[in-house]
């Protein structure tokens, strides 16, 4: 047990810190801390910033070296995230590509597929979106009905996806489709890679309770993709999709806890400014959230040490996902309470525009739903970690 | 960064667990909790002689093994898991750390070897009958009468205060107020003028006593009047230690619940297949794992003796106080009627969870402490 940097880790930290100090300037620095993976504020500048990161090898940090990565250890990834947060650098735009698709591609893709897609993710030339949920496949994801049929050397795709975050920004979509006629449940699914810029795809924005529309409905009406644009074996898409969800619940959220620490400090500052911090009950609540965000850090460090030893994300990642989403939701509720009567008004009501704390208050309601609702995480924890019997079906 | 125990530490855990499973089964816990002393002196000696548990963290120059707080945390977690009935927390955590923090070299040389050898049982008397132990609440008076210090007043809720042969007393130099004038002393358990009354404790596995001091002659531990920092640090270390002990108990009640949920059949299926029970167990696991992260990290900070200790001590005690009690309460609910019986062990953990929650301050207390320490 040792929380100090090793000499190699300290050197890596110094390199990251130095690079950020040299490059995070002017318009990039001005965007400090703005946005999130589902928040488009400052999008174009953030994308330029990410291109700069990519050009210097800071995108795809964990990828193998022969695929353009640095083969960074989990500890180095954490160090990068820590320094990135410390420098207050802009939120990243390529969460779905770099964070979800790339690790799945590295695990399941052919060399040819990796050569085709990874460089474009690193250069931020291609952004991705996630085609999982459907109107009748939410928590029951295996009930996917979107179908793909081979027509010569192309898949023809028909169906509908929903809650597709930033589909309107994406160049590509990884789509879970039913490719075996008459199959049911998790059998007969395939993980297809589909170009979003084609006539067979229609994207309709879905306005959220926050007033903005980062997510969408995506309609596939005879959309096409080449026969070899499938990740993993045809009909075995479920295990590929589960791996993606594992990354989404595990490593992809390393940076989240650091953003939460910043939000925590912002709320403490707000409470001191408006006097709420003098209220004994609110002080207690704030301290309770502080306990929560620090434990999130310690949990993450324990999970990373474990992952460094086993090399894989286990079902324990569900504990982390359940924890941070529940914490953030409660934190958002306190945030508005701290605002008091000021919480009754927002920045602008036409269009409906929220301040940061209101955005947390509302946005966090999605977090206990996406990437597997809290109830699903509890099932996974109960059945796969604790070994409790499955519900009879 | 490495957040895992070493192979040697895991081996230490295995050895302690093996010993405690043999020496402290439920039947022994139940036998000892009915006695006034509340421990088995033969097992206490074996703990010292066979495992060296009393000497674990005492530096080698004072007769100990010089292990860190991380190893102490492991020992405590295992003790909490089986509800060991022994004056370990009082002797090795409270009194030993008070002596290490407050004492000078000669005092440590005089007091610690006896503890390390398992010969001295020691207690730390700090809470007063009003339930307070903060600087303002300490009123037991120390008076210097012709070069000799004399104590007058009452301490209560003193863990193992009736069986200790060495008592470390947190007192106030007469005529001082608040943090100025806090002074630590030692007195023998059988000192003249000291009346010790065992208390009937809600949690029978941890004994407490009321100590009345009437003109008791006492030996200073460190410089009288300069004891506040040492006492405050002792409390932080004790909070970390208790948090580690508590998380062992929390893991045990989770294990009991999961085991029962797998075998208890109602409506033709194991109750653990119902989401109502499964989700309770999942939440308990989340709390136990999160509690472990906090407890272990806090133990490391205590081992490093770094600046984070006051913050993480309050943080860990706050979280684990709520988590342990919640898990112990859910354990009764999951067991249904059998969980409410005297025969089942669920109530022993439930009571220990509540007594540990309240001892050294509950979650609300520690969140306020934390708020002050992080500048809210």
The minimal CB distance from B278 to the residues A272, A322, A388 is found for A388
Minimum Cα–Cα distance from A79: chain B residue: B1
Residue B63: pLDDT over 90: yes
A248, A263, A316, A367: which is the annotated catalytic residue?
A248
Residue A34: pLDDT over 90: no
CATH number corresponding to A7-93: 1.10.540.10
Map tokens 């989401």 to a residue: B275
Mean per-residue pLDDT over chain A, rounded: 93
d(CA B150, CA A320): 55
pLDDT tens-place string over residues A239-298: 999 999 888 877 656 678 888 999 999 999 999 999 999 999 999 999 999 999 999 999
Q: What is the CA radius of gyration of chain B?
A: 21
A272: tokens are 């001191």
- In this predicted structure, what is the pLDDT of residue A242? 94
DSSP-assigned states of every residue in B191-218:
-TTEEEEEE--SSTTS-EEEEEEEEEEE
A288/B367 touch (CB, cutoff 8 Å), yes or no:
yes
- In this predicted structure, what is the pLDDT of residue A33? 67
* Mean local confidence (pLDDT), B14-19: 98
CA distances from B190 to A71, A327, B222 (A): 66, 52, 22
- In this predicted structure, what is the pLDDT of residue B162? 98
Q: Could you give the angle at the alpha carbon of A349 between the alpha carbons of A343 and A350, nearest 5°? A: 170
Q: Which of B304, B36, B284 is nearest to B163 (CA)?
A: B36
Interface of B with A in 306-345 (CB under 8 A): 312, 315, 318-319
Among A305-309, A327-331, A358-362, B187-191, the range scoring the smallest mean pLDDT is: A305-309
Mean per-residue pLDDT over chain B, rounded: 97
Q: Which residues of A touch B367 (CB under 8 A)?
A: 283-284, 287-288, 291
- In this predicted structure, what is the pLDDT of residue A158? 98
* Mean local confidence (pLDDT), A40-56: 93
Q: How many CB atoms lie within 10 A of CB B136?
A: 10
Residue B369: pLDDT over 90: yes
Higher pLDDT, A32 or A218: A218
Whether the Cβ atoms of residue A198 and residue A223 lie closer than 8 Å to each other: yes
CA distance to partner chain B, nearest, from residue A5 (Å): 6
Minimum Cα–Cα distance from B261: chain A residue: A388
Summary count for chain B: helices (H), strands (E): 12, 9
CA distance to partner chain B, nearest, from residue A24 (Å): 26
- In this predicted structure, what is the pLDDT of residue A38? 64
pLDDT tens-place string over residues A187-228: 999 999 999 999 999 999 999 999 988 889 999 999 999 999
In B92-177, which ranges are E strands? 122-125, 141-145, 148-159, 166-173
pLDDT tens-place string over residues B270-312: 999 999 999 999 999 999 999 999 999 999 999 999 999 999 9
Minimum Cα–Cα distance from B322: chain A residue: A288
Residue A314: pLDDT over 90: no
* Mean local confidence (pLDDT), B74-85: 98
In chain B, what's the furthest Cα-to-Cα distance? 79
User: Measured on CA atoms in the order A57, A63, A68, A70, is the torsion positive or negative?
Assistant: positive
B273/A392 touch (CB, cutoff 8 Å), yes or no:
yes
- In this predicted structure, what is the pLDDT of residue B375? 95
Among A6-20, A79-93, B212-226, the range scoring the smallest mean pLDDT is: A79-93
* Mean local confidence (pLDDT), A176-191: 96
Q: Is A248 a catalytic residue?
A: yes
d(CA B226, CA A59): 55
Of 1.20.140.10, 3.10.20.30, 3.30.1490.20, 3.60.15.10, the CATH number of A250-385 is 1.20.140.10
Q: Which of A91, A45, A81, A88 is nearest to A61 (CA)?
A: A81
Residue of A274, A388, A392, A393 to mutate, testing the B interface (most B Cβ within 10 Å of its Cβ): A388
pLDDT over 70 percentage in chain A:
97
The minimal CB distance from B279 to the residues A287, A294, A382 is found for A382
Among A234-238, A312-316, B145-149, the range scoring the smallest mean pLDDT is: A312-316
B319: Cβ contacts below 8 Å, ≥ 6 apart: A291, A295, B243, B290, B291, B294, B363
pLDDT tens-place string over residues B149-187: 999 999 999 999 999 999 999 999 999 999 999 999 999
Q: How many CB atoms lie within 10 A of CB A45?
A: 17
Interface of B with A in 105-144 (CB under 8 A): none
- In this predicted structure, what is the pLDDT of residue A253? 65
Q: Which residues of B touch A280 (CB under 8 A)?
A: 368
- In this predicted structure, what is the pLDDT of residue B52? 97
Residue B244: pLDDT over 90: yes
B370/A287 touch (CB, cutoff 8 Å), yes or no:
yes
Q: Which residues of A touch B376 (CB under 8 A)?
A: 268, 271-272, 277, 283, 286-287, 290
Residue B343: pLDDT over 70: yes
B292/A302 touch (CB, cutoff 8 Å), yes or no:
yes
Q: B217 exposed, middle or buried (CB, 10 Å; 0-12, 13-18, 19+)?
A: middle
Q: Which residues of B touch A1 (CB under 8 A)?
A: 2-6, 9, 70, 296, 300
pLDDT band at A36 (very low <50, low <70, confident <90, very high): low
Q: Which residues of B touch A377 (CB under 8 A)?
A: 282
Instruction: Give domain limits for chain A.
Output: 7-93, 128-236, 250-385
pTM: 0.95
Q: Would A7-93 and A250-385 be classified into the same CATH topology?
A: no
- In this predicted structure, what is the pLDDT of residue A252? 59
Of 2.60.120.680, 1.10.3720.10, 3.40.50.1980, 2.40.110.10, the CATH number of A128-236 is 2.40.110.10
């Amino acid at each position: 047990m040792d929380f100090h940097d090793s000499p190699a880790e300290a050197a890596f930290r110094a390199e990251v810190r130095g690079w950020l100090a040299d490059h995070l300037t002017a318009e990039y620095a001005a965007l400090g801390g703005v946005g999130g993976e589902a928040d488009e504020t400052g999008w174009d500048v953030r994308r330029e910033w990410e291109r700069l990161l990519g050009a210097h090898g800071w995108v795809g940090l964990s990828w193998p070296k022969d695929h353009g990565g640095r083969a960074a250890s989990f500890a180095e990834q954490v160090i990068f995230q820590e320094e990135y947060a410390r420098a207050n650098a802009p939120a990243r735009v390529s969460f779905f590509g770099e964070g979800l698709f790339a690790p799945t591609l590295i695990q399941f893709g052919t060399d040819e597929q990796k050569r085709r897609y990874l460089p474009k993710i690193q250069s931020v030339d291609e952004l991705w979106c996630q085609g999982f949920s459907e109107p009748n496949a939410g928590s029951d994801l295996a009930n996917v009905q979107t179908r793909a049929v081979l027509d010569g050397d192309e898949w023809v795709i028909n169906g509908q996806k929903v809650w597709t975050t930033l589909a309107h920004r994406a160049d590509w979509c990884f789509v879970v489709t039913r490719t075996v006629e008459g199959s049911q449940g998790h059998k007969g699914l395939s993980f297809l890679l589909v170009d979003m810029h084609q006539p067979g795809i229609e994207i309709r924005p879905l306005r959220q309770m926050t007033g903005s529309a980062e997510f969408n409905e995506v309609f596939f009406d005879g959309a096409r993709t080449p026969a070899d644009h499938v990740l993993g074996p045809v009909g075995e898409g479920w295990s590929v999709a589960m791996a993606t969800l594992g990354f989404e619940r595990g490593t992809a959220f390393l940076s989240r806890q650091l953003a939460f620490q910043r939000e925590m400090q912002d709320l403490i500052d707000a409470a001191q400014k408006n006097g709420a911090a003098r209220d004994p009950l609110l002080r207690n609540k704030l301290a309770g959230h502080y306990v929560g965000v620090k434990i999130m850090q310690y949990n993450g460090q324990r999970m990373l040490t474990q992952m460094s030893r086993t090399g894989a994300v286990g079902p324990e990642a569900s504990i982390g996902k359940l924890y941070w989403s529940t914490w953030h939701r409660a934190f958002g509720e306190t945030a508005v309470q701290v605002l008091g009567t000021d919480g009754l008004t927002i920045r602008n009501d036409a269009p409906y525009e929220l301040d940061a704390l209101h955005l947390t208050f509302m946005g966090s309601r999605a977090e206990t739903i996406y990437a597997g609702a809290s109830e699903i995480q509890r099932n996974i924890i109960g059945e796969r970690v604790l070994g409790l019997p499955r519900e009879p079906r | 960064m490495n957040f895992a125990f070493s192979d040697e530490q895991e081996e230490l855990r295995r050895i302690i667990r093996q010993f405690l499973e043999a020496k402290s089964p439920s039947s022994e816990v139940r036998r000892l909790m009915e006695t006034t002393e509340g421990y088995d002196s033969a097992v206490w000696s074996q703990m010292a002689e066979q495992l060296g548990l009393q000497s674990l963290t005492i530096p080698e120059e004072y007769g100990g093994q010089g292990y860190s707080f991380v190893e102490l945390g492991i020992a405590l977690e295992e003790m909490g898991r089986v509800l060991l009935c022994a004056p370990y927390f009082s002797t090795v955590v409270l009194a030993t750390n008070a002596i290490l923090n407050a004492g000078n070299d000669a005092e440590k040389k005089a007091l610690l070897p006896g503890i390390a050898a398992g010969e001295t049982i020691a207690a730390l008397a700090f809470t007063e009958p009003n339930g307070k132990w903060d600087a303002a609440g300490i009123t037991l008076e120390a008076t210097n009468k012709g070069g000799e210090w004399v104590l007058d007043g009452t301490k209560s809720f003193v863990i193992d205060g009736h069986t200790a042969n060495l008592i470390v007393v947190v007192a106030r130099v007469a005529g001082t107020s608040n943090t100025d004038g806090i002074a630590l002393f030692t007195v023998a358990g059988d000192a003249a003028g000291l009346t010790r009354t065992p208390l009937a404790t809600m949690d029978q596995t941890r004994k407490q006593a009321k100590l009345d001091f009437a003109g008791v002659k006492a030996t200073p531990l460190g410089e009288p009047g300069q004891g506040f920092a040492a006492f405050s640090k002792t409390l932080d270390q004790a909070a970390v230690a208790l948090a580690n002990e508590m998380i062992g108990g929390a893991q045990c009640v989770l294990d009991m619940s999961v085991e029962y949920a797998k075998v208890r059949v109602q409506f033709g299926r194991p109750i653990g297949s119902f989401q109502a029970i499964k989700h309770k167990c999942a939440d308990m696991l989340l709390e136990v794992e999160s509690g472990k992260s906090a407890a272990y990290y806090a133990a490391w900070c205590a081992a490093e003796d770094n600046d984070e200790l006051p913050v993480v001590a309050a943080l860990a005690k706050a979280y684990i106080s709520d988590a342990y009690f919640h898990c112990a309460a859910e354990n009764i609910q999951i067991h249904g009627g059998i969980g409410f019986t005297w025969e089942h062990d669920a109530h022993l953990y439930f009571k220990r969870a509540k007594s540990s929650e309240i001892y050294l301050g509950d979650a609300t207390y520690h969140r306020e402490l934390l708020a002050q320490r992080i500048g809210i």
